[in-house]
Amino acid sequence: MTQTPFSTDNLSRFYINGAWVTPSSDRGFPVLNPATEQKIGDIRLADVQDVNAAVAAATTAFESFSMTSKAERLQLLERFLEVCRRRAEDLARAISMEMGAPMTMSRDEQAASGIGHLESFIDALRDQPEREDLGNGDTLLREPIGVCGLITPWNWPINQIALKVVPALATGCCCVLKPSEHTPISAMIYAEMIDEAGYPKGVFNLIQGDGAVAGSAMSGHPDIQMMSFTGSTRAGAAITKNAADTVKRVTLELGGKSPNLVFADCDIDAQVAASVQECMFNTGQSCDAPTRLLVERSIYERALEVAKATAESMSVGDPAKEGDHLGPLFDKLQFDRVQSMIETGLAEGARLLTGGLGKPDGFETGWYVKPTIFADVRNDMRIAREEIFGPVLVVLPFEDEAEAIQIANDTPYGLAAYIQTGDPARAERVARRLKAGAVHINGGAVNFGSPFGGYKQSGNGREGGTHGLEDYQELKTLHHP
């Protein structure tokens, strides 16, 4: 086990081949606290030589780690779980500092997701057979695909790292992780935890970098057999194109503009309020947030009253403090984009129900945004079609079930959808018509171990549980005489 290097004064190291090393690149990048706008420290952005070093370490390690037994890998995962539980508070504080999640939410949701996913992958691996009799005399083997390149986003940093790194380790793959350059600290702590758990050198490698250089070098690398990416649809398309020449497997979890269908037979007050809260959760920075609220015309005005009151009851606050409040957006780049989209909504003629341009009173410092709702939105407006990724909800009326389904599916995305109804038969009927990878019925939440992923331009492949393991495995058929 190597000596722990973590300090905000020492962010410029990469974890390669079981050691913390000085990068080849001298290109720096400042890491900022989004609540204070102050610099936390500087990272190095990897160059091609850094990527090559990490891939070489993983390639060498794969020769032996791919041959480990399931029992050996389960033992390592159980040891890793012990470390994760002990260091959960470190992760929560890092996430709060680097991307602005309020401490209570960062602890209970952000950091906790790493533990929940790890536990579910342990269960899935334990239950998955390594050999399977096909019933025709042949035998099916499940084997690790190889070296995996993993690129994760800033909005749910540990959630997405766990959904990629853990199945790689569980199946016997080796990997190179490139987290978002905006959230490097939680990833460094994660590397420390893997090191402490006792994984062989080279099995897991961490570099920091941007998409243009490090991401491109990874997706086109001939010695990487699989790329798993979470982020924008634009970047996902670029990775897929760059990976094509080496015919590697590519799994993508991309954007969303998830519809939330509210029917007149639901508990209007409770379910509309919960829908607004779900949209604003994580300051609206979730790819599957229900950002399009589709409301049956007969209850439209009442739903607007509830939505407005709910948003105006929300408070923003310092993410370093405990409590149920919204933190800032992660960066000035995102703040400017959200402000621009609010301006667009106003220009398109949508009715501003609450919120709007500018920062909340008393929050001149930090990338805080007012919880904002637009009413009387048409589905051809940009604010109804483009992912805003902030605390902005658009509300659209519909006449009947058929129109609700038509509006819901009229989007290039298909990550998630939501239904609020008191009729179980309607819920099942509508859910089958919605083109989305997950449908949340009356507040049903995502559970650890269930597959997560989308239709259409929301990506391909599934993360989580047994289905998440399968993306990291090759199938080999033994034909016996």
Q: Across-strand partners of 441?
A: 419
Question: Can you tell me which residue has the tokens 């919120």?
Answer: 355
Catalytic residue (one of 109, 196, 253, 296): 253
β strands within 145-187, DSSP E = 147-151, 174-178
Angle at which helices 70-86 and 112-127 cross, to 10°: 160
Strands 226-230 and 249-253 turn out to be parallel
* Catalytic (active site) residue 253: yes
Q: Cα(first)–Cα(last) distance of the chain, in Å?
A: 47
Question: Which tokens go with 107?
Answer: 């602890």
Strands 249-253 and 459-460 turn out to be antiparallel
Comparing CA positions, the residue from 228, 278, 232, 238 lying closest to residue 458 is: 232
Handedness of CA 336, 337, 340, 346 (dihedral sign): negative
User: Can you tell me the distance from the alpha carbon of 51 to that of 221, in angstroms, rounded to the nearest whole number?
Assistant: 9
Comparing CA positions, the residue from 370, 369, 344 lying closest to residue 355 is: 370
Largest CA distance in the chain: 77
The CB density around residue 67, as the number of other CB atoms within 10 Å, is 11
β strands within 39-160, DSSP E = 39-44, 131-133, 138-144, 147-151
Question: Which tokens go with 1?
Answer: 């086990």
Question: Which tokens go with 133?
Answer: 């009799």
* String of DSSP letters for 420-438: E-S-HHHHHHHHHHS-SSE
User: Can you tell me the distance from the alpha carbon of 467 to that of 220, in angstroms, rounded to the nearest whole number?
Assistant: 25
If DSSP codes are grouped into helix, strand and coil, which group holds residue 287? coil
The set of residues, in sequence order, having a beta carbon less than 8 Å from that of 309 and lying 6+ positions away, is 273
Catalytic positions, please? 253
